[in-house]
Structure 1
């Protein structure tokens, strides 16, 4: 160990969304800042997650639109898929994003150190440098921005099959002949549909009773119908029991179902079964940082850990696993450093699943409201009633809002349809402002837009669900 560690005002382990913005902000304010990153400059989002996956999803959407050319009066021949070209488009975007990140480090004055960091004492990290050698760094204030990684379930033979995760799936230069997707959550669904559109046979294996398990049944049912229409096979209530073979060659996935055991044979297997935090084997016990039962860093509502002068941000702190939440974690820390009283309590977190149709949701859905015993009314309209969808030939889906039973307060909103992830921002803003649903009903929205559908949605008073009616 070096006799005298290099000391920084801010020492940040991990360059994900929270860490990089904190680094750039504090360095520009004149502080000495170092960020330790072992691989992904800027974190998962620009490299292996949000942005590259949406890039590939859009390539698949273009392929789908070309196949539908006749519907739009466009004469088009057979669609040929060049997966190496799809990958190159994605890689070009990622490289451009990395260059932007490097420039931000240079321009802000924050030092980016590429290597593997491990605590060797409180607030002191030894870094095995990527280019060889070691450095020992200490920080007046230390921030953990460790992220998460794809979890590989403990299914016999699965590890040995070298399955794809989202990381490897985004680097494919070929179309899998038959892709088996383990998991029917948003990651699994966001990969299953584009791979089908590229030409793969696709089977989704979901342990639960529906796709998108956190969503209302009407959302899951519509997604099931769309997947079936596109030729995607979905096995519900199906538990993988054993995997044989090697992904990329030939795999056999044994699953247990209510109808008995079955074997699904495919060429590749993709694991999309949740996340696990990157908190192990980095000396957090030496740092005095406590973990919870699931391995996430224990934090309070100000993101402070059990160790004095140490914070955790983003996925590793148990925050909702979205880049936009990690960015807000940065804002919580930044504002509190300036003397504020900002916390993570009662945040209104929106999210979007980039399937086709797109799913956007903010606030409560019916499932969550019932579970919490919250009385509500429902406003609902099919996307076909939103005239913009007819100009796009994208009429599938619906808009649905939950309104309090005893007032006109908005409790939540679901948009399953074209631009669903965009229109939720309007309702989220109204919820944050405390506006009643009638304010959206009476707003003059541009015609023809998807947002105009909110006036259609709220044209009639929300109704009490039949199951809850007295």
Structure 2
């Protein structure tokens, strides 16, 4: 008979939401148990956000090295040692894991390593990593299950054993020709560094443009930079089948406007969306309902359909960003301790760490038109921000949407160097309810990227853009 233990707080999954809830509640004196299948701290410090940005920056350094003559430095070939690139990433990950171990020890939360499955309301049976089983029961249970890379149902795709971002971050060699299926954030972030390391890279996107959730001018700016670096982009094509095996030879057959086409490469990376880790772990048997997409059904306080059970992070259908998962923790913690926070009305920023970066918060033009929101636009090229001249990084633009009947900021998009940092400034103004004129009239340090906001908003927003209903 498996060993058992009971606790006040039982968390399945040690990702961003789960670990912070565990550490915080344990420090308050509650008995807390966290069950983790494999990755201490979740995907972000192990196989996603931080490792990918580590690799991306190595690619950035390689690109700068090839531009040495532009900066008055000796020009010559930049040889990339992928083993060293990978080792730098591994050291960072190991350091982060040790930080997490220390946090568990300091908080008093127990970390149980193994595969968990719900076997009764608020009870989880764990197949322990070192062998044997254990049943953990909690007064309150929190699901922090995460997601994994989806493999589309393209004939031969699964059989080709493609890379996902997890395996790509562990490559110790530079692929001769990397084919990337998916022109979204993950696919684009992965495509560029491998090109800079020396791979030939082809991005296959079924939609009409890469960065399909963005305005066309954003997609165009990224496309131009990628193509200037030698990255081939095939958009508006339908995957037909895959032959071969990734790591050896793979033939990707697509159907496009020009007819059938075959792309032959050495490696295939799939970056075509995410699937929640909710199947086969007893959720339905415990009274925890899923939505039509397989995510845990929650209300605005992240409570599930089962009494005493919450879900947080990606598995709850939250926007799939670590900073949103952290806010999910804050919402749950607030409601456990007498507060009344909900997921409603959150202003969620994000950044894609390509070069140039993409940062956005609030509405873009596509969303505003779809919602029937009339707006004014302020837009300047990044070259108008003098800091970019000192960096020789003039690519991209800044764009803001302003309400028609007031000076309210509706949204902001930055494509260019430092875009992610600029977004935080505008987001702060939006949260404070400041008009765009507050940024226009601010005294900002020269020469910084933030100074570009005064330039952007000094350009009087153009006349109103009619909403979609008025255009009909």
Normalised to the residue count of structure 1, the TM-score between the two structures is: 0.99
- Confirm or deny that 1:136 pairs with 2:128: no
TM superposition shift of 1:460: 2.5
Query: Aligned with 1:262: secondary structure?
Result: strand
Q: Distance in 1 between matches of 2:396 and 2:118?
A: 50
Please list every run of 5 or more consecutive structure 2 residues that lacks an aligned counterpart in the other structure: none
Match of 1:289 in 2: 288
- Confirm or deny that 1:164 pairs with 2:160: no
Superimposed CA distance per residue, residues 359-410 of structure 1 (whole angstroms, 9 cap, x where no aligned partner): 0000000000000000000001111010000000001110000000111000
- Confirm or deny that 1:110 pairs with 2:105: no
TM superposition shift of 1:5: 3.4
Superimposed CA distance per residue, residues 80-132 of structure 1 (whole angstroms, 9 cap, x where no aligned partner): 01001000000000000000000000010000000000011110000000000
Match of 1:343 in 2: 342
Match of 2:8 in 1: 9
Q: Distance in 2 between matches of 1:448 and 1:77?
A: 31
Q: Distance in 2 between matches of 1:179 and 1:270?
A: 7
CA distance 1:376–1:467, shift in 2 (3 Å): closer
Query: Aligned with 2:305: secondary structure?
Result: coil
Query: Aligned with 2:458: secondary structure?
Result: coil
The 8 Å contact of residues 379 and 459 in structure 2, kept in 1 or not, is answered as no
Match of 2:221 in 1: 222
Match of 2:175 in 1: 176
Match of 1:248 in 2: 247
TM superposition shift of 1:465: 5.8
Match of 1:374 in 2: 373
For 1:30-429, what aligned pairs fall within 5 Å after superposition?
Answer: 30-429=29-428
Q: Distance in 1 between matches of 2:463 and 2:299?
A: 38
Q: Distance in 1 between matches of 2:77 and 2:258?
A: 39
TM superposition shift of 1:239: 1.3
Q: Distance in 2 between matches of 1:213 and 1:465?
A: 25
Query: Aligned with 2:91: secondary structure?
Result: helix
Report how many aligned residue pairs link the two structures.
469
The 8 Å contact of residues 202 and 232 in structure 2, kept in 1 or not, is answered as yes
Q: Distance in 2 between matches of 1:51 and 1:239?
A: 32
RMSD of the alignment, in Å? Answer: 1.1
Q: Distance in 2 between matches of 1:445 and 1:287?
A: 55
Q: Distance in 1 between matches of 2:454 and 2:121?
A: 56
Query: Aligned with 1:381: secondary structure?
Result: strand
CA distance 1:404–1:425, shift in 2 (3 Å): same
Q: Distance in 2 between matches of 1:120 and 1:335?
A: 29
Query: Aligned with 1:245: secondary structure?
Result: strand
TM superposition shift of 1:461: 1.7
Q: Distance in 1 between matches of 2:337 and 2:130?
A: 36
Q: Distance in 2 between matches of 1:325 and 1:285?
A: 25
Spell out structure 1 runs of 4+ moving beyond 4 A: 465-470
TM superposition shift of 1:6: 1.1
CA distance 1:140–1:466, shift in 2 (3 Å): closer
Q: Distance in 2 between matches of 1:333 and 1:116?
A: 24
The 8 Å contact of residues 409 and 435 in structure 2, kept in 1 or not, is answered as yes
Query: Aligned with 2:332: secondary structure?
Result: helix
